[in-house]
Amino acid sequence: MNHYDMQGEGYEWSNIYALPPRGTPTGGGYFTVEDLLKFDHALRNHKLLTPNYTNFLLNRFEGSIEDQHISSKIKKSAGAAVGICAFIGMDFNTDYSVIVLSNYDLPSANPVSALKYE
């Protein structure tokens, strides 16, 4: 059961009727840390996209598909809905990733996204 506090007053409500029972074309997918780690490995190992298109994605679709991505930065993504929060950070200079899933509203996973990874 996930929880949310719409007015920030410190109490919890179940979000069982606030979200659809499964993901939709606009998002809301349900996944585990293991699922996100498999996605991480598939992206790094070019199982989802060719190396050129992976670089294009990591460059935020700027330039051309032949451009190499700038690997000096960690690629981050986050998402949230009522009573759920997710974060993934991928360091392409190493094989390390940080994945945080929470059954609480924003900003429950955000403190991790603000960290500087060294």
Instruction: Kindly state whether residue 64 falls inside one of the protein's structural domains.
Output: yes
Count of domains for the chain: 1
Structural domain containing residue 41: 31-113
| 89: β partners | 76, 98
Helices (H), 7-65: 33-44, 51-58
DSSP code at position 69: P
Instruction: Kindly state whether residue 94 falls inside one of the protein's structural domains.
Output: yes
- Per-residue pLDDT reduced to its tens digit, 56-92: 888 766 666 666 655 556 787 777 777 778 888 888 8
More confident residue, 85 or 22: 85
Instruction: Kindly state whether residue 62 falls inside one of the protein's structural domains.
Output: yes
pLDDT score of 76: 79
Instruction: Kindly state whether residue 49 falls inside one of the protein's structural domains.
Output: yes
Instruction: Kindly state whether residue 9 falls inside one of the protein's structural domains.
Output: no
Instruction: Kindly state whether residue 51 falls inside one of the protein's structural domains.
Output: yes
pLDDT score of 95: 83
Instruction: Kindly state whether residue 22 falls inside one of the protein's structural domains.
Output: no
pLDDT score of 46: 93
**CA 81 to CA 99: how far, in whole Å?**
17
Instruction: Kindly state whether residue 65 falls inside one of the protein's structural domains.
Output: yes
